[in-house]
């Protein structure tokens, strides 16, 4: 397979949180977060993903958050809209809307709960890809969805001109290596796990879609930039320096810890929507300690 497709971004894309106040989206805080990200070197913004609590946004909220993010970003960095669903018709509708309002790309998660066979996965992703005019990043996160994209399925999906990249959050480095070997010429590869940025870059990846970047956008960008400059030791050293904090950001279900962290930093509200809830006190103390070590609070 030859790579004749466009690359949406290189480096660090923040999987941006969605601020809530009294269970409503706080657009003032959201605008401030977007400015904070751009000012601090983030390379792209992924909106309404897992970290953005897209699964508990109403349809109206989901569309407005995408539209608002595109408008406020104003072309300064690419905006990638999370428009995947376990209902393919809804994913089609939401994806078409995201394209219409100016998103630069789409992030499509595998169907969750009802899952899919390999044939169903291909048909579902193609149903979206056939009707949109923006590039698509596939999102593989089987620990959340119960549905994994195998290398054989990736090979078929890579044949579509609109499917250009993969966010790999399986955590399975062996499977990611196989993906890179089989499809690396046809699909850009992004790490979906902050603790595996450098390992994925070493396999030919070109960046990360990051939770850490919500609180350390410059440093997350720098891990990728150093690698791209050939400064492998420096990139690896920064990855390892941040590893404890990265692990603490996943001490409870994402985005509970990172929402707590942005709240502690005064960036936006720490409010999450049920079934997510506030952190356990002991885990919160561990997160606070790691943030203090990095000079964030």
- Encode pLDDT of 172-184 as tens digits: 999 999 999 999 9
Helix (H) or strand (E) holding 46: strand 44-47
Segment 137-148 mean pLDDT: 95
- The pLDDT score that the predictor gives to residue 5 is 83
What tens digit of pLDDT does each residue of 52-107 get?
999 999 999 999 999 999 999 999 999 999 999 999 999 999 999 999 999 999 99
Residue 7 token pair: 């690359």
Pairs from 183-186 (Cβ < 8 Å, separation ≥ 24)? 183/1, 183/151, 183/154, 183/155, 183/158, 185/1, 185/2, 185/3, 186/1, 186/2, 186/3, 186/5, 186/158, 186/159
The percent of residues above 70 in pLDDT, for the chain, comes to 99
DSSP 265: T
Give the mean model confidence (pLDDT) for residues 13-37: 98
Q: Which residues are catalytic?
A: 139, 167
Average pLDDT over residues 254-283: 98
* Gap between the Cα atoms of 255 and 214, Å rounded: 10
> Mind listing the domains of the chain with CATH numbers?
11-229 (3.20.20.70)
What's the pLDDT band for 3 if we cut at 50, 70, 90?
low
pLDDT digits (tens, 9 = 90+) for 150-169: 999 999 999 999 999 999 99
Backbone angles phi, psi at 79, to 5 degrees: -115, 125
Cβ pair 14, 213 in contact under 8 A: yes
**Rounded to 5 degrees, what are φ and ψ at 40?**
-105, 25
- Tens digit of each residue's pLDDT (9 = 90 or more) over 118-136: 999 999 999 999 999 999 9
pLDDT band for 217, please (50, 70, 90 cuts).
Answer: very high
Prediction pTM value: 0.96
Stated length of the chain: 297
Mean pLDDT over each residue of the chain, to the nearest integer: 97
Cα distance between residue 213 and residue 172, in whole Å:
22
Above 60 in pLDDT, residue 250? yes
pLDDT at 4: 67
Give the mean pLDDT of 194-217. 98
C-alpha span between 272 and 89 (Å, rounded) = 27
Is beta strand 20-21 parallel, antiparallel or unpaired with respect to 188-191?
unpaired
């Amino acid at each position: 397979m030859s790579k004749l497709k466009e690359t949406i971004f290189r480096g660090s894309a923040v999987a941006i949180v969605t601020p809530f106040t009294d269970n409503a989206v706080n657009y003032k805080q959201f605008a401030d977060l977007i400015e904070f990200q751009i000012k601090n070197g983030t390379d792209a913004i992924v909106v309404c993903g897992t970290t953005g609590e897209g699964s508990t946004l109403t349809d109206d909220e989901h569309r407005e958050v995408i539209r608002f993010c595109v408008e406020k970003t104003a072309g300064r960095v690419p905006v990638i809209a999370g428009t995947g669903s376990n209902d393919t018709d809804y994913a089609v509708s939401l994806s078409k809307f995201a394209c219409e309002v100016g998103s630069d790309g789409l992030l499509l998660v595998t169907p969750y709960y009802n899952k899919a066979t390999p044939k169903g996965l291909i048909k579902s992703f193609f149903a979206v890809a056939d009707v949109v005019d923006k590039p698509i990043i596939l999102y593989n996160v089987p620990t959340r969805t119960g549905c994994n994209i195998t290398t054989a399925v990736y090979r078929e999906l890579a044949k579509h001109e609109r499917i250009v990249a993969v966010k790999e959050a399986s955590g399975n480095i062996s499977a990611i290596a196989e993906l890179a070997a089989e499809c690396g010429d046809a699909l850009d590869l992004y790490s979906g796990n902050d603790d595996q940025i450098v390992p994925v870059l070493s396999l030919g990846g070109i960046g990360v879609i990051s939770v850490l970047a919500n609180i350390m956008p410059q440093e997350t960008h720098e891990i990728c930039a150093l690698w791209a400059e050939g400064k492998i030791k420096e990139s690896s050293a920064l990855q390892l320096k941040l590893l404890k904090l990265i692990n603490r950001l996943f001490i409870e279900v994402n985005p509970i810890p990172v929402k707590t962290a942005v709240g502690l930093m005064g960036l936006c509200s720490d409010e999450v929507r049920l079934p997510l809830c506030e952190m356990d006190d002991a885990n919160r103390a561990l997160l606070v300690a790691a943030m203090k070590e990095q000079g964030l609070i």
